[in-house]
């Protein structure tokens, strides 16, 4: 019966029989990846998603969750061998309604706990926050989502800045605003699937999400505790990480879509994991949906001390124009020893060592990590939006880079954010080339534009032998090397980019900004991929 079923799906029975009779694969193997949960993406052109998701079982597994916004379902299997699970996964890949299958992997908060014994809030002085506040302290009309372990929304230094869903009536058990979530007055918890995104402290979570929220937007000038980078803004708590500091891809996708669909302009993401682009497709697609709606995604570079240009780390490495990835700097403007870096994949640095901020139950604590650098940038972006709500992701990234303080930290701009400088640049509409710093491959193109100035822009390349740029700002890379692009406006003002790099594919993080396409690497555990390739050798990664 099994053979006939696989024949009907076009799977090569010879390969199936081989894997089912191979002794090493028909027994349980210690440390193997079977018995996992998988995210299945349904093709958007295959009809009614709900009809697909309402099936009681799928390929012998149980559909335990669904997310129509992403056209994905979560399937649990209870196999006893790699062979059985590989055969089931192969049947999913052969299903004409299925676009892809990935394991529902875990991601983790990216903080490094430390003792509360250093000076308080040195980071705000370092980035000249008080000088920036002289031009305005932010606005609660700007919504920034903290997707994390939750937020202690009752903390007296945060409560006044917590987002309120004005269309929802608390506690009536009704989805008043018809957004698919009941009683989500102050956000949502996708870890426990309820409307209470309260931060839950555990042995692995000192209050990570609350700490991030305080860095970003603790209420300023209230005579209590600390001030956030933006003293006034609306913090949207969205929880998918548990008390152990971890959560899965399904929860991350739901969280990103919730923030995107409920008014957030910025998402702060201080979490991630070492995964390949194919393994993290559901998150990349959710960030792409955020990009389509003008939502910026601020991501932590990670705390492994590695070069993200050669290390796969997501969501930090997501190649989309709304993503700003942040490294951590020290009191002396050096790279924090733990911080990841990268001239192509990491965009800016911000203070991330011994950062004093809020934790649950009306307390404060020092924590270190790119997790702490990220919400500072998120709060600063919120402050920028309070001055100019029309800013796009690429414009915001360019403004942060063009105004940053030069430091010896390997990021695209080799800079650390400067709040005073970037706020002045936004308010003065100082001519700024967009983008400021990129790494691409030969024969790739990149569209340039400009923020501010007087219009009538003209563009010029410093090295036509490396890359040319036309009158409309379209740059075409020709050969490896480094160059600059200058934009000049109708009044003669000009702005020159930071370093633009053209590198061979695979040698320094080139590849630009798109994302998507058919993956050429297996999105599953290597042992499982090998087993599946014995059944379906025509899959794109099997060669």
* Residue range 223-246, pLDDT digits in tens: 889 999 999 999 999 999 999 999
- Whether residue 84 contacts residue 34, with contact meaning beta carbons closer than 8 Å, is answered with yes
**Confidence grade of residue 528 (pLDDT, cut at 50, 70, 90):** confident
End-to-end, the C-alpha distance of the chain in Å comes to 29
Which is the catalytic residue, given 65, 84, 148, 248? 148
All residues at 6 or more sequence positions from 125 whose CB lies less than 8 Å from its CB, including other chains? none
Separation between Cα atoms, residue 288 and residue 378, nearest integer Å: 18
Region of poorest pLDDT, from 42-56, 137-151, 232-246, 454-468: 42-56
Compute the CA torsion angle 387, 393, 396, 402 (nearest 10 deg): -170
- By CB atoms closer than 10 A (0-12, 13-18, 19+), residue 50 is exposed
For 532, the enclosing helix (H) or strand (E) is: helix 526-535
Q: Which two tokens stand for residue 111?
A: 């903080």
Handedness of CA 489, 494, 499, 504 (dihedral sign): positive
**Confidence grade of residue 24 (pLDDT, cut at 50, 70, 90):** very low
Q: What integer pLDDT is reported at residue 21 of this predicted model? A: 32
Which is the catalytic residue, given 208, 211, 347, 387? 208
**Confidence grade of residue 120 (pLDDT, cut at 50, 70, 90):** confident
Percent of the chain with pLDDT over 90: 71
Region of poorest pLDDT, from 114-128, 269-283, 300-314, 527-541: 114-128
Q: Over the stretch 432-443, which tens digit does the pLDDT of each residue have? A: 999 999 999 999
pLDDT of residue 539 exceeding 70, the answer is yes
pLDDT of residue 266 exceeding 90, the answer is yes
pLDDT of residue 132 exceeding 90, the answer is yes
Q: What is the mean pLDDT of residues 283-301?
A: 98
Catalytic annotation present for 371: yes
Q: What integer pLDDT is reported at residue 345 of this predicted model? A: 97
Q: What integer pLDDT is reported at residue 35 of this predicted model? A: 59
Q: What integer pLDDT is reported at residue 507 of this predicted model? A: 65
Q: What integer pLDDT is reported at residue 49 of this predicted model? A: 87
**Confidence grade of residue 269 (pLDDT, cut at 50, 70, 90):** very high
Q: What is the mean pLDDT of residues 441-464?
A: 96
Q: Over the stretch 150-203, which tens digit does the pLDDT of each residue have? A: 999 999 999 999 999 999 999 999 999 999 999 999 999 999 999 999 999 988
pLDDT of residue 416 exceeding 70, the answer is yes
**Confidence grade of residue 122 (pLDDT, cut at 50, 70, 90):** very high
**Confidence grade of residue 23 (pLDDT, cut at 50, 70, 90):** very low
Most trustworthy range by pLDDT among 26-30, 455-459, 514-518, 528-532: 455-459
Separation between Cα atoms, residue 416 and residue 346, nearest integer Å: 12
The DSSP symbol for 70 reads G
Q: What integer pLDDT is reported at residue 62 of this predicted model? A: 86
Q: What angle (nearest 5°) sits at the alpha carbon of residue 189, between those of residues 188 and 194? A: 85
Q: What is the mean pLDDT of residues 506-512?
A: 61
Q: What angle (nearest 5°) sits at the alpha carbon of residue 213, between those of residues 437 and 150? A: 115
All residues at 6 or more sequence positions from 489 whose CB lies less than 8 Å from its CB, including other chains? 431, 450, 453, 454, 455, 456, 457
Catalytic annotation present for 208: yes
**Confidence grade of residue 48 (pLDDT, cut at 50, 70, 90):** confident
pLDDT of residue 3 exceeding 70, the answer is no
Separation between Cα atoms, residue 410 and residue 518, nearest integer Å: 31
Q: What is the mean pLDDT of residues 403-410?
A: 98
Q: What is the mean pLDDT of residues 417-426?
A: 98
Q: What integer pLDDT is reported at residue 110 of this predicted model? A: 74
pLDDT of residue 519 exceeding 90, the answer is no
Q: What pTM does this model have?
A: 0.87
Higher pLDDT, 465 or 28: 465
Q: Over the stretch 51-78, which tens digit does the pLDDT of each residue have? A: 888 887 787 788 889 999 999 989 988 8
- By CB atoms closer than 10 A (0-12, 13-18, 19+), residue 152 is buried
Count of CB atoms within 10 A of residue 419's CB? 28
pLDDT of residue 512 exceeding 90, the answer is no
Average pLDDT along the chain: 88
Q: What integer pLDDT is reported at residue 344 of this predicted model? A: 97
Which is the catalytic residue, given 227, 246, 357, 371? 371
Catalytic annotation present for 183: no
pLDDT of residue 88 exceeding 70, the answer is yes
| Preceding amide of 435 cis, omega within 30 | yes
């Amino acid at each position: 019966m099994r053979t006939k079923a696989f024949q009907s799906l076009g799977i090569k029975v010879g390969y199936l029989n081989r894997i089912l009779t191979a002794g090493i694969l028909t027994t349980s193997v210690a440390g193997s990846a079977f018995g996992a949960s998988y995210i299945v993406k349904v093709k958007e052109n295959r009809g009614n998603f709900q009809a697909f998701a309402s099936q009681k079982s799928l390929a012998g597994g149980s559909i335990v969750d669904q997310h129509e916004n992403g056209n994905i379902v979560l399937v649990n299997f209870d196999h006893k061998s790699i062979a059985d699970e590989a055969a089931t996964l192969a049947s999913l890949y052969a299903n004409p309604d299925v676009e892809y299958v990935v394991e529902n992997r875990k991601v983790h908060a990216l903080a490094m706990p430390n003792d509360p014994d250093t000076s308080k809030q040195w980071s705000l002085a370092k980035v000249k926050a008080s000088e920036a506040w002289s031009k305005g302290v932010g606005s609660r009309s700007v919504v920034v989502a903290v997707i994390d372990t939750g937020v202690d929304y009752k903390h007296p230094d945060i409560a006044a800045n917590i987002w309120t869903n004005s269309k929802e009536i608390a506690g009536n058990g009704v989805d008043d605003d018809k957004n698919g979530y009941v009683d989500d007055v102050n956000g949502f918890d996708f870890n426990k699937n309820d409307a209470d995104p309260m931060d839950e402290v555990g042995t692995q979570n000192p209050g990570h999400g609350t700490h991030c929220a305080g860095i970003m937007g603790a209420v300023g000038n209230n005579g209590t505790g600390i001030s956030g980078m933006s003293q006034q803004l609306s913090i949207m708590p969205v929880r998918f990480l548990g008390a152990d500091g971890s959560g899965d891809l399904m929860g991350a996708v739901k969280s990103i879509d919730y923030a995107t669909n409920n008014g957030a302009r910025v998402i702060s993401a201080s979490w991630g994991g070492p995964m390949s682009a194919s393994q993290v497709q559901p998150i990349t697609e959710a960030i792409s949906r955020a990009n389509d709606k003008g939502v910026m995604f601020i991501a932590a570079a990670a705390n492994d001390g590695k070069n993200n240009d050669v290390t796969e780390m997501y969501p930090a490495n997501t190649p989309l124009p709304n993503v700003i990835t942040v490294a951590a700097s020290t009191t002396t403007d050096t790279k924090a020893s733990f911080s990841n870096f990268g001239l192509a994949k990491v965009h800016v640095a911000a203070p991330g060592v011994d950062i004093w901020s809020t934790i649950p139950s009306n307390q404060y604590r020092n924590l270190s990590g790119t997790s702490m650098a990220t919400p500072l940038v998120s709060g600063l972006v919120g402050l920028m939006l309070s001055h100019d709500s029309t800013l796009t992701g690429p414009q915001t990234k360019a403004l942060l880079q063009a105004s940053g303080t030069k430091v010896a930290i390997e990021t695209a701009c080799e800079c650390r954010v400067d709040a005073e400088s970037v706020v002045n640049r936004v308010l003065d509409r100082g001519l700024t080339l967009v983008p400021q710093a990129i790494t691409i491959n030969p024969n790739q193109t990149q569209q340039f534009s400009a923020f501010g100035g007087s219009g009538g822009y003209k563009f010029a390349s410093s090295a036509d032998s490396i890359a040319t740029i036309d009158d409309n700002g379209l740059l075409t890379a020709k050969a490896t090397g480094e160059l600059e692009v200058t934009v000049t406006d109708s009044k003669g003002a000009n702005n020159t980019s930071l370093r633009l790099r053209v590198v061979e594919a695979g040698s320094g993080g080139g590849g630009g900004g798109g994302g998507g396409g058919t993956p050429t690497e297996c999105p599953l555990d290597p042992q499982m991929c090998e087993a599946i390739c014995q059944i379906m050798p025509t899959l794109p990664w099997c060669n």
